Structure 1
Amino acid sequence: MSKKVCMVVAYHPFLDARIFKKEAKSLQKKGYNVTMIVPRKNGHLFDIDGTPFTKSFRNKVFTHEGIKIVTYDSESCRNHLNKVLNTEDVWEKQGFNNPLTKLAIQEDADIYHTHEYLSLFAGIGIKRLIKKRKGKHVKLIYDSHELTPDPLDPRYSEEKRKILEQKLLYMLEEVDYIITVSDSIKSWYIAHKPNVPVEVIYNSPPLTKDYAPKKFDNAEFITCYVGNVDAKRGNKDKVIGISEICSKAIDFQFKIIGGTRFGDSFLIPKHLQNVIQLTGWVDYHSIPKHMKDADVGWIDIDDVNQSLNRDYSLPNKFFSYLNNGIPVLVNKCHEMEDFIRKHQCGFVVDKTQATAQDFADALIFLHNNKSKLTQMSQNARKVMERLYSWEKMEDRLFQIYQHLGN
């Protein structure tokens, strides 16, 4: 009989690349029976760009690509899950009395896989209540997509960060395995909770199957960016500034795969409309096709001193670039800088807050040094094949689940 897995989600979209496209689908392929408990907001599920699904996925329970999806209204859980900051008697009386926890318990799974600070809190309730009511010992995974609370996050006061950290460390006593996304975050958990096993599963894609080594012999030089272009990521002003500077010096294109989220817009100046190309949001599996003509992949980690998570990040796009043999251009930040310098697969602008001019200077330098770019490209693809592809991460995931199933 196959083991039953329940993914417990507090706010990620149900089609999230890490949760649904990679982890849930890989576990399903391995023979696990996978259910996801996912939130609706204002009655809707949302696509990866924030667009609400209005004509599809309307049933409370449905099956998508073989994965059972159980939905709940996030508004009905917010007050309960926020009780994590209260005392333990409030946890038992109010915090665990919420739809997310109740629906997850009804699944009667063997392993519960949580993905956020608040879904971890729900997971503590799930584990305790199943043991209390059924005498069953279920396994609990905390998949820490980032470090919460971030010790440097200015959104919270020092006092609140301290309370959040205390509650996290207390909850981790009941966690059977921690999964996270970078070695620096893993080190933080080992330092604070050395008794809980922890593994890194990078946000890397499956190997591109029809990959062909890049020749960098086109006259046009294409810089690629994958993901959101909003107030927090994919700085619009820098995209425009880089395009302005580079297009005057070389035959330049800035290709954005993704772009604005639902309800937002990106107004491209008229004189740059032939320079900046927006593909819009594309299917996860078609990203490599849209990257085929790219020469460099751009990541801007701005205000790195304001957030430990930004300094520790290894985002999806980072591995997508490498997977397609695209050297990465990034400003100075701990985790990506270490990776690039170790594997010689990109270029680091030596500033924590790089300007459009800084990035443009680096791009023009790379354009004028094609042999260096070619070597970086070869290194990028080789390191993905050897160490970091999703196929390698999938093996790590299976080993964790095998360990928990014993």
Structure 2
Amino acid sequence: MKRILFIEPQPCIRALKLAYGLKWLLGEEISLVFGHQGKTLTEFYGYGDEFFDEFVLLSKEEPEKSISELVKRYNPDIIHSHNAPDYLTLAALNSVKGTPIIHDTHDALTMRKTPYNLTDGEDRVNQYAVEEKVANEKSQGRIYITKGVRDYLRNLYSLDSGSEIIFNNYVPKAIIPQKLEKKLSSTDGETHIVYAGTITSQTEGHHYDLREIFKEIADHQLHIHIYASREDAAYERMAQESKYIHYHGHLNQRALMKELTRYDYGWAGFNDTKNKTHLDVCLPNKTFEYISCGLPVLSYPHKTLTDFIEGNKVGFILNNIDELEESNTVRENVLKNRYSFTVENNIERLNNFYQTFMS
């Protein structure tokens, strides 16, 4: 039996997807434990804890001691450390000997001009680069969320290209709706765009500060429907002031996926006022979720999103909202590819990568 220890400050949807995929592939032949410092997956997303044997709360004051004790008790074959930030990987490197550590970069923090956590002050932000360098150079293996992230980190640090893979944020086939709901546009003849994911109004110019983008969509008399990972009252107030902005709050993922099928397009573009370099390497979860729900993806010309959307003909890259034009060819291609970008189609690559550290 493989014994894999995940560690991450706050367990995230990517970790959930990987755990689901590993359990789908290996069943009882794999054991998973999650060491964390926040909420469990089910506390955060409504499901996910069922893929793990145990969740263990790691000390924020003494993470090295907590990780060392957990490793001694659980005896994992591999520690799979998810960022961001990167400090738990350093804690594992400092406290564990003899167990391979794989560092999974979800977010290269040195690309950002805004703090990862809103409470991070200047001293904490300055530590990002130190932690990122050590985590990538000293770990036995590395996983990157996109090719763009890999290329960026390769250019910065001394990395062994033979100990890495790229693994995108694929969608689990199990949550893809089998039935597509009736479109809102079939009733009112108007265009309905949906956004599902993180939003913020706390930091002006943050890449998830999408207020001006949503206002522009509404100004073109296109409906924008917002499903928030975390509630934000500023967006709810916007919806009260415009008949084209609709704030639906938070839904658990299974319910959300069904809802997404009712819309015409999925919005994936970011606010690139401050973090353009970072955004050029992003390929967010929502991209794959929209496609699996039959929605062409709309985005601004962020590089990795542009390469993926245009390369697979699954949406439209816009410099401004005026450029949006319907294409039956793109919509038909999206429908053909609803099940193409799934965890199940790709998880064996991760398992094979693990195996190289266990032989």
TM interval, shorter chain, is: 0.7 to 0.9
How far apart are residue 271 of structure 1 and its match? Answer: 5.2
Alignment-derived partner of residue 334 in structure 2? 380
Alignment-derived partner of residue 210 in structure 1? 178
How far apart are residue 343 of structure 1 and its match? Answer: 1.9
Alignment-derived partner of residue 18 in structure 1? 14
Compared with structure 1, are the counterparts of its residues 149 and 46 closer, same or farther at alpha carbon in structure 2 (3 Å cutoff)?
farther
1:186 to 135, 142, 150: 150
How far apart are residue 295 of structure 1 and its match? Answer: 0.7
Alignment deviations for residues 231-283 of structure 1 (CA, whole Å, 9 cap, x no partner)? 2415134323422x233xxxx4322222643787621354525x333332222
1:142 aligns with 2:103: yes
3-state SS of paired residue (1:76)? coil
Asked if the contact 1:38–1:72 (Cα under 8 Å) also holds between the matched residues in 2, the reply is yes
How far apart are residue 211 of structure 1 and its match? Answer: 5.1
State the alpha-carbon separation in 2 of the partners of residues 110 and 240 from structure 1.
50
2:257 to 284, 288, 298: 288
How far apart are residue 381 of structure 1 and its match? Answer: 4.1
Alignment deviations for residues 177-234 of structure 1 (CA, whole Å, 9 cap, x no partner)? 2111111112234444134521111112123251559999722321010012212415
State the alpha-carbon separation in 2 of the partners of residues 331 and 124 from structure 1.
39
Give the superposed CA RMSD.
3.5
Read off the aligned partner of 2:6 and give its amino acid letter.
Answer: M
2:113 to 150, 153, 171: 153
Asked if the contact 2:144–2:167 (Cα under 8 Å) also holds between the matched residues in 1, the reply is yes
Compared with structure 1, are the counterparts of its residues 259 and 139 closer, same or farther at alpha carbon in structure 2 (3 Å cutoff)?
closer
Read off the aligned partner of 1:153 and give its amino acid letter.
Answer: K
Compared with structure 1, are the counterparts of its residues 376 and 67 closer, same or farther at alpha carbon in structure 2 (3 Å cutoff)?
same
State the alpha-carbon separation in 2 of the partners of residues 394 and 114 from structure 1.
17
% of aligned pairs identical?
18
Read off the aligned partner of 2:21 and give its amino acid letter.
Answer: S
Read off the aligned partner of 1:238 and give its amino acid letter.
Answer: I
2:215 to 240, 251, 261: 240
Compared with structure 1, are the counterparts of its residues 177 and 211 closer, same or farther at alpha carbon in structure 2 (3 Å cutoff)?
farther
Greater mean deviation of Cα atoms: 186-195 or 316-325: 186-195
2:87 to 118, 129, 145: 118
State the alpha-carbon separation in 2 of the partners of residues 172 and 102 from structure 1.
24
Matches within 5 A, 1:170-319: 170-191=134-155, 192=157, 193-207=159-173, 208-210=176-178, 218=186, 219-231=189-201, 232=206, 233=208, 235-243=210-218, 245-247=219-221, 252-258=222-228, 260-261=230-231, 266-268=236-238, 270=240, 272-273=242-243, 275-303=244-272, 306-319=275-288
Asked if the contact 1:27–1:34 (Cα under 8 Å) also holds between the matched residues in 2, the reply is no
Alignment-derived partner of residue 84 in structure 1? none
Alignment-derived partner of residue 54 in structure 2? 69
Asked if the contact 1:297–1:328 (Cα under 8 Å) also holds between the matched residues in 2, the reply is yes
Asked if the contact 1:8–1:104 (Cα under 8 Å) also holds between the matched residues in 2, the reply is no
1:401 to 324, 338, 354: 354
Asked if the contact 2:19–2:32 (Cα under 8 Å) also holds between the matched residues in 1, the reply is yes
TM-score, normalised by the number of residues in structure 1 = 0.72
State the alpha-carbon separation in 2 of the partners of residues 344 and 194 from structure 1.
33
How far apart are residue 296 of structure 1 and its match? Answer: 0.9
State the alpha-carbon separation in 1 of the partners of residues 254 and 95 from structure 2.
34
3-state SS of paired residue (2:200)? coil
How far apart are residue 335 of structure 1 and its match? Answer: 0.6
Compared with structure 1, are the counterparts of its residues 288 and 168 closer, same or farther at alpha carbon in structure 2 (3 Å cutoff)?
closer
State the alpha-carbon separation in 2 of the partners of residues 216 and 286 from structure 1.
17
1:99 aligns with 2:66: yes
Matches within 5 A, 1:353-368: 358-359=320-321, 361-362=322-323, 365-366=324-325
How many corresponding residue pairs? 339
Read off the aligned partner of 2:80 and give its amino acid letter.
Answer: H
TM-score, normalised by the number of residues in structure 2 = 0.80
State the alpha-carbon separation in 1 of the partners of residues 283 and 306 from structure 2.
10
How far apart are residue 120 of structure 1 and its match? Answer: 1.0
Q: Which has the larger radius of gyration?
A: 1
Alignment-derived partner of residue 32 in structure 1? 30
State the alpha-carbon separation in 2 of the partners of residues 268 and 166 from structure 1.
40
Compared with structure 1, are the counterparts of its residues 264 and 395 closer, same or farther at alpha carbon in structure 2 (3 Å cutoff)?
farther
How far apart are residue 67 of structure 1 and its match? Answer: 1.4
Compared with structure 1, are the counterparts of its residues 7 and 73 closer, same or farther at alpha carbon in structure 2 (3 Å cutoff)?
closer
3-state SS of paired residue (2:263)? coil
Compared with structure 1, are the counterparts of its residues 104 and 190 closer, same or farther at alpha carbon in structure 2 (3 Å cutoff)?
same
How far apart are residue 99 of structure 1 and its match? Answer: 2.5
State the alpha-carbon separation in 1 of the partners of residues 165 and 138 from structure 2.
17
Structure 2, gaps ≥5 residues long: none
Compared with structure 1, are the counterparts of its residues 334 and 157 closer, same or farther at alpha carbon in structure 2 (3 Å cutoff)?
farther
